[in-house]
C-alpha cells in the first residue's frame, strides 16, 4: 500500500465553510495531524488516530505526518483557513525538499479552503474587490525591515492590504508600527477592518479608519484589512456599514 | 416580508468546493441571478426562478437582483470562486451606493468561497505560501499604466503575483506585455504556473519558468501565478513538480 498525505484546509472556524472535498479527505484519513485548536473542532472518528501539536511546531508536524504517510498510511494534516496561505502546505513542501528521497514519491494533495481574508471581507462587503496584497506581519521568519519595505510598496502602488498574523503576545508592537507607517502613506479616512474569530461564537468585526485604528483590537485570531485610496464605506441606517473597493478606477486617479 | 440578497461564491468549477453555507443559500433562494455559465452548474429546483446574464453585465445583474430583493424576495446572485475577489460582491456594493435609499435597508450577505488562486496554488504545492498580491490584468476598468505600475511595485518588493483575468479575445496582448515587463525585473528561472479551468473536466495546469512562459497558454478561464525570488520547484520522479514559496526569508536575502 502506498502512502498518502492530504493537507486539508478547514476554512475559518465554522463548519459551514468546510468544503465537501475537505470533509471527504478527513473521513478517509487513518490519522490526523494538526494544531490542537484545529483538531478540537473535528468530530472524533473510531479508528482514526489524532496527533496534536503546539501552534509553533509547523516543521515538526509536517515531518511527523510525512514519516507516517511513508509507512503506507492515509494521513491528513489539518490547517485553518486555506493550507496554502501562511499555513501548512508550504511547511510540508519544505520538509519534502529537505527530507529523504522517498518522500518525493508520496501521493501529496493540497485541499484548498476559505482563507481568513475572504471570510472577513465577506462580513463587511467587498474590501478586496480590486487589486490587493496579503502580507504576514510576523517577523519570526523574516526581517522586520522587509515587512516595512513591502508595506510601503503596497500602499504606494494602491493595493488594498490584508495583514495576517498581525499580533501575538510574543509580537506586541508590530501592528502598531505597521499602522503608523501606513498613516504616513495613506489618508486618515482610509477604511480599516479588524476581523476577529470570524465564523466562531466569539466573532468580532470592527470597521474603523486608519486614523482611529487601534492595534490593541488585534490578536492571533484577527485578520486586518487596510483599504486603498479607492476603498469606500456605505453607511446604512440600522445596519452595519458596507466597505468595498470598486472594480473600476478612472484614469484620472491612476 | 423583507427582502434578502445573498451573493454566493460557488468556488472554482467543482461542486466538491461548494461550501455548506453556499449550498444552503442557493437552496433557500426564490430566484438565482448570475452569469449563464455559473447557473448551468447548479441543479434546477422546482419553484426557483433563474435569470441568466452575459459575462460583462455585472452592474445590470446586481441592480436587477437588488430590485427583486427589494420586492421582498430571497434572491441569490451567484459568482464563480469567491464573490469578493474581482467578482460580484463589489458590483453589488456599487449598485447599493448608487441606488435608491431603500436598498440600504436590505438584508445583504456575502457568502465566501474558494477563489481561483487558492485552487490553482493547491494543485501545484504552495506558491502563495508567503507574501503575495492579486492583480487583475483587465484594462477594461482601469488604465494599463496603473497595471504596469503595480506589477513593478509587486515584483520589486518580492511579492508572489497572482494574475486574474490574464487574457481574453478582446484583450489578447496584455498578458504578453505583463510577462515581458516581469522578465526585466525577475530572474528567467522564476517559476510560473498557468492554471486553466481548475476543478473542471478540461482542467490544465502548466508549471514553467518566466523565460519560457507563453501567454498563449492563458484564456479567460486561466489564473497565472508568477513566483517571487524565493519561490522554489521540487522535482519529483514520476510525479509533477511541487512549487512553493517558503515561509521563512533569511535576513541576507531581504
Residue B205, SS3 per DSSP: strand
Are B146 and A244 in contact (CB < 8 Å)? Answer: no
Which of B133, B236, B249 lies nearest to residue A146, judging by beta carbons?
B249
Q: Euclidean distance between the first and final Cα of chain B, in Å?
A: 58
Q: Give contacts of A26 with chain B, Cβ < 8 Å.
A: none
Cα nearest neighbour of A130 on chain B: B86
Strand partners, A135: A163
Q: Give contacts of A86 with chain B, Cβ < 8 Å.
A: 129-130, 247
Predicted pLDDT at A2: 77
**DSSP code of residue A101:** G
Q: For B23-40, what is each residue's pLDDT tens digit?
A: 999 999 999 999 998 999
Q: Give contacts of B235 with chain A, Cβ < 8 Å.
A: 104
Strand partners, A76: A6, A32
Predicted pLDDT at A216: 97
The residue length of chain B stands at 254
Predicted pLDDT at A254: 44
pLDDT 10s per residue in chain A (254 long)? 578 999 999 999 879 999 999 999 999 999 999 999 899 989 999 999 999 998 778 899 999 999 999 999 999 999 999 999 999 999 999 999 999 999 999 999 999 999 999 999 999 999 999 999 999 999 998 999 999 999 999 999 999 999 999 999 999 999 999 999 999 999 999 999 999 999 999 999 999 999 999 999 999 999 999 999 999 999 999 999 999 999 888 755 44
Q: For B88-142, what is each residue's pLDDT tens digit?
A: 999 999 999 999 999 999 999 999 999 999 999 999 999 999 999 999 999 998 9
Are B141 and A249 in contact (CB < 8 Å)? Answer: yes
Are A153 and B157 in contact (CB < 8 Å)? Answer: yes
Is B72's pLDDT higher than 70? yes
For residue B13, the tally of other CB atoms under 10 A from its CB is 23
Which sign does the torsion angle of CA B17, B22, B23, B26 carry? negative
Predicted pLDDT at B188: 98
The answer to whether the CB of B142 falls within 8 A of the CB of A248 is yes
User: pLDDT band at residue B252, thresholds of 50, 70 and 90?
Assistant: low
Across chain B, how many H-helices and E-strands are there? 7, 13
Is B253's pLDDT higher than 60? no
Predicted pLDDT at A14: 75
- Chain B closest-CA separation from residue A239 CA (Å): 7
pTM of this prediction?
Answer: 0.97
If you count residue pairs, one on A and one on B, with CB atoms under 8 Å apart, how many are there? 263
Are B90 and A157 in contact (CB < 8 Å)? Answer: no
- Chain A closest-CA separation from residue B26 CA (Å): 14
Predicted pLDDT at B249: 83
Lookup: cell for A213 = 485604528
Is the ipTM, as predicted for this complex, more than 0.95? yes
Q: For A143-155, what is each residue's pLDDT tens digit?
A: 999 999 999 999 9
Q: State the helix-helix crossing angle for A58-70 and A88-98, rounded to 10 degrees.
A: 60
Nearest to B31 by CA among B56, B54, B55, B3: B3
Q: Give contacts of B93 with chain A, Cβ < 8 Å.
A: 125-126, 129, 232, 234, 242, 244
Euclidean distance between CA atoms B162 and B88, whole angstroms: 19
Task: Write down all domains in chain A, each with its CATH number in brackets.
Answer: 4-114 (3.40.1010.10), 117-253 (3.30.950.10)
Q: Which of B56, B247, B252 to mutate to test the interface with A (most CBs of A within 10 A)?
A: B247
Q: Give contacts of A92 with chain B, Cβ < 8 Å.
A: 126
Are A82 and B118 in contact (CB < 8 Å)? Answer: yes
User: pLDDT band at residue B254, thresholds of 50, 70 and 90?
Assistant: very low
Euclidean distance between CA atoms A186 and B88, whole angstroms: 27
Lookup: cell for A1 = 500500500
Three-class secondary structure assignment of A119-186: HHHHHHEECCCCCEEEEECCCCCCCHHHHHHHHHHHHHCCCEEEEECCCECCECCHHHHHHHHHHCCC
Are B143 and A236 in contact (CB < 8 Å)? Answer: no
For the segment B205-228, the average pLDDT, to the nearest whole number, is 97
Lookup: cell for A22 = 475537505
Euclidean distance between CA atoms B154 and B156, whole angstroms: 6
Amino acid at each position: 500500500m502506498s502512502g498518502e498525505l492530504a493537507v486539508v484546509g478547514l476554512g475559518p472556524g465554522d463548519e459551514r465553510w468546510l468544503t465537501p472535498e475537505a470533509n471527504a479527505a478527513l473521513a478517509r484519513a487513518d490519522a490526523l495531524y494538526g494544531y490542537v485548536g484545529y483538531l478540537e473542532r473535528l468530530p472524533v472518528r473510531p479508528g482514526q488516530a489524532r496527533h496534536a501539536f503546539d501552534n509553533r511546531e509547523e516543521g515538526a508536524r509536517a515531518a511527523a505526518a510525512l514519516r507516517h504517510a511513508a509507512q503506507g498510511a492515509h494521513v491528513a494534516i489539518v490547517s485553518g483557513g486555506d493550507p496554502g496561505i501562511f499555513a501548512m502546505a508550504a511547511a510540508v513542501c519544505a520538509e519534502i525538499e529537505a527530507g529523504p528521497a522517498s518522500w518525493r514519491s508520496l501521493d501529496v494533495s493540497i485541499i484548498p479552503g476559505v482563507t481568513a481574508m475572504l471570510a472577513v471581507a465577506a462580513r463587511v462587503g467587498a474590501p478586496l474587490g480590486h487589486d490587493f496584497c496579503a502580507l504576514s506581519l510576523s517577523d519570526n521568519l523574516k526581517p522586520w525591515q522587509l515587512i516595512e519595505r513591502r508595506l510601503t510598496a503596497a500602499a504606494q502602488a494602491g493595493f488594498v492590504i490584508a495583514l495576517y498574523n498581525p499580533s501575538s503576545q510574543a509580537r506586541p508592537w508590530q501592528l502598531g508600527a505597521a499602522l503608523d507607517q501606513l498613516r504616513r502613506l495613506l489618508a486618515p479616512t482610509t477604511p480599516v477592518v479588524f476581523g476577529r474569530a470570524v465564523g466562531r461564537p466569539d466573532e468580532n468585526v470592527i470597521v474603523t479608519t486608519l486614523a482611529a485604528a487601534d492595534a490593541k483590537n488585534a490578536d492571533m485570531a484577527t485578520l486586518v484589512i487596510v483599504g486603498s485610496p479607492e476603498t469606500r464605506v456605505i453607511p446604512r441606517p440600522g445596519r452595519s456599514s458596507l466597505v468595498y473597493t470598486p472594480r473600476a478606477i478612472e484614469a484620472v486617479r491612476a
